[in-house]
């Protein structure tokens, strides 16, 4: 039996009216699904093609970090979005992908009767109970006609039962109590793509401001002390442009457009 059943995925895709995932390129091993998708931007690959891998040998995270996961433990995928508009309009897209992950996770929790909630940790992580369940890596490249191609990369911990000491704040669906009936990659992928295509199409027509209220309700950093670069403050939400708002000790509110957030204990 193969690790990813294309027939089963296609059945779920059609039953749920999902248009992305036509096709899904399922790989037992690759360097990185983002590499596969970025390379496809040079060809005529269409929006909605998805690469999914059982194992990555050079998985990437943000800021040059590695994304390491034992083979078969993690949902690792990249979806391609062609010609979505100019790069400056893509700000906030990782938050929108985060909301799609949250949609999927909420559905899985509801199916399993689990009363837990997933939150978005600005700008690209999904947290449950203070631990990282998923990370998002968005990469872009221009094609030969000068049009933008965007790769939406997701790593969602699924089967992992324990993480190395270097990742004390990581969790997986399994560790959160999700039973195996909801953990099939075909089911998870179809559910994620269903949420993703809705969220992304709304983002492309209306921008990030349409999601801010929801993001502020699900903000993992609200009330937390954090440091971003040389700014330290308390998370007080996100502004209309999806920027992180920090209130500094002097009572000033600072809007942050990019950077790595360090949670202070
Ligand atoms: C992060 O937490 O910094 C983002 C991690 C993103 C990992 C996913 S796994 C699938 C895709 N391919 C990669 O090389 N990275 C992303």
Which run of H or E residues covers position 152? strand 148-157
The pLDDT value recorded for residue 44 is: 81
265 confidence band (pLDDT: 50, 70, 90): confident
Asked if residue 1 has pLDDT above 70, the reply is no
Cβ–ligand 1 distance for 34 under 6 Å, the answer yes
Cβ–ligand 1 distance for 157 under 6 Å, the answer no
**Dist. CA 60 → ligand 1 center (Å):** 5
* SS3 state at 48: coil
Pocket test residue of 97, 98, 155 for ligand 1, highest count of atoms within 8 A of CB: 155
- Mean pLDDT, residues 105-116: 98
**Dist. CA 252 → ligand 1 center (Å):** 34
Ligand 1 atom closest to residue 31's alpha carbon, by position in its atom list: 14
pLDDT digits (tens, 9 = 90+) for 72-86: 999 999 999 999 889
The pLDDT value recorded for residue 167 is: 92
Percent of the chain with pLDDT over 90: 95
**Dist. CA 61 → ligand 1 center (Å):** 5
Cβ–ligand 1 distance for 184 under 6 Å, the answer no
Pocket test residue of 125, 153, 166 for ligand 1, highest count of atoms within 8 A of CB: 153
**Contact of 191 with 183, CB cutoff 8 Å:** no
The whole-model pTM stands at 0.97
Q: Is pLDDT larger for residue 235 or for residue 1?
A: 235
**Does 239 sit behind a cis peptide bond, omega within 30 degrees of 0 on the bond before it?**
no
Query: How far apart are alpha carbons 233 and 101 in whole angstroms?
Result: 27
Residues 6+ apart with CB under 8 A from 53: 26, 27, 28, 29, 30, 33, 76, 77
Average pLDDT, whole number, for the chain? 96
Cβ–ligand 1 distance for 187 under 6 Å, the answer no
Cβ–ligand 1 distance for 60 under 6 Å, the answer yes
Query: How far apart are alpha carbons 159 and 203 in whole angstroms?
Result: 31
Which run of H or E residues covers position 211? none
Query: How far apart are alpha carbons 73 and 61 in whole angstroms?
Result: 17
Closest C-alpha residue for ligand 1 atom 5:
61
Residues 6+ apart with CB under 8 A from 26: 2, 3, 4, 6, 52, 53, 54
Cβ–ligand 1 distance for 235 under 6 Å, the answer no
Q: What single string gives the DSSP state of each residue in 69-107?
A: --TTSEEEEEEEEE--S-GGGGTTHHHHHHHHHHHHHHH
**What are the CA-CA distances from residue 133 to residues 94, 103, 149 (Å)?**
15, 13, 27
Instruction: Tell the residue number behind the tokens 């995932």, with chain if given.
Output: 21
HSE toward the beta carbon, residue 96, CA cutoff 13 A: 26
**Dist. CA 253 → ligand 1 center (Å):** 31
* SS3 state at 219: strand
């Amino acid at each position: 039996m193969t690790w990813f059943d294309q027939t089963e995925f296609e059945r779920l895709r059609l039953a749920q009216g999902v248009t992305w995932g036509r096709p899904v390129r399922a790989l037992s091993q690759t360097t990185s699904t983002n590499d596969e998708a970025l390379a496809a931007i040079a060809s005529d690959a269409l929006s909605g093609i998805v690469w999914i891998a059982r194992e990555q040998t050079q998985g990437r995270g943000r800021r040059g970090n590695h994304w390491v996961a034992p083979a078969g433990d993690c949902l690792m995928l990249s979806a391609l979005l062609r010609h979505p508009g100019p790069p400056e309009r893509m700000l906030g897209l990782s938050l929108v992908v985060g909301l799609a992950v949250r949609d999927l996770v909420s559905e899985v929790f509801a199916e399993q009767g689990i009363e837990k909630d997933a939150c978005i940790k600005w700008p690209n992580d999904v947290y449950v109970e203070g631990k990282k369940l998923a990370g998002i890596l968005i990469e872009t490249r221009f094609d030969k006609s000068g049009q933008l191609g965007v790769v939406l990369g997701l790593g969602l911990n699924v089967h992992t039962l324990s993480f190395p000491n270097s990742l004390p704040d990581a969790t997986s669906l399994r560790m959160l109590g999700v039973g195996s009936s909801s953990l099939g990659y075909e089911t998870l992928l179809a559910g994620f793509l269903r949420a993703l295509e809705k969220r992304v199409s709304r983002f492309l027509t209306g921008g990030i401001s349409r999601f801010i209220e929801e993001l502020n309700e699900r903000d993992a950093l609200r009330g937390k002390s954090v440091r971003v670069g040389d700014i330290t403050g308390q998370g007080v939400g996100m502004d209309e442009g999806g920027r992180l708002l920090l209130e500094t000790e002097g009572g000033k509110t600072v809007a942050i457009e990019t950077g790595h957030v360090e949670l202070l204990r």
